[in-house]
Amino acid sequence: MAYQDEFIEIFNQKIHRAGARELLEWLQHTDFFTAPASTRYHCACESGLVQHSISVYQTMLRWFEPETDSEESFAICGLLHDVCKANFYKQSVRNVKNEETGKWEQRPYYSIDDQFPYGHGEKSVFLIERFLRLKTSEAMAIRWHMGGFDDAARGGCTAISQAYQKYPLAVKLHLADFESTYLHENGTSAVPNGHHPAK
């Protein structure tokens, strides 16, 4: 099953909140289903963003507790935490020398072309809420899913610690995002690491 089909199937099965259909329709009019997840680190390939989103959702389910957790919340957070990356990357090609053959070959190259520079997690929250209302726990989870790599956290903001203490969903999304990125998605990039601009 193609990543787009799998994403839509999970989305339609798990997310029934008002505005969900409109949100999915909007995503289909962006490059969300063809965009990479990064410029070079993980899933830097066509459809890498949707591949990463599904991976995070599936990884997150390992921490699902039926007594306290919501399947819809897990689907919203896992599938939509990185909608900020829709219409965010630009693809081109560059010549790279093949070490084995000595010949020059064209390789994909992704750069950032942010049409709406509003941050990362906070941008995803903003875009989602144009269509459906997030619960506070969902908004917190998506806002802080980058953990210590978030620009505000790196700048010394302590709100992230409070969010993790109050909202277990935020911790679960953060853990799933990092496990997916650094363990499950290792070697998923079409772009060689170390040759192109950072994420």
pLDDT of 190: 61
Cβ atoms of 147 and 178 closer than 8 Å: yes
- Closest to 194 in 3D by CA, of 39, 29, 28, 4: 39
pLDDT in tens, 15-34: 999 999 999 999 999 999 99
CB 146 within 8 A of CB 120: yes
Residue that is written with structure tokens 């998923």 in the block: 188
What gap in Å lies between CA 18 and CA 174, rounded to an integer? 26
In sequence order, what are the beta bridge partners of 109? 92
What global pTM score does this model have?
Answer: 0.86
CA proximity to 190, closest of 67, 81, 87, 94: 94
Given this model, what pLDDT does residue 191 score?
55
pLDDT digits (tens, 9 = 90+) for 175-196: 999 999 888 877 666 655 443 3
Beta strands in the chain (DSSP E): 89-97, 104-112
pLDDT score for 195: 36
Residue type, 122: E
- Residue recorded with tokens 């990356």: 85
Report strand pairing: 89-97 vs 104-112: antiparallel
Higher pLDDT, 129 or 195: 129
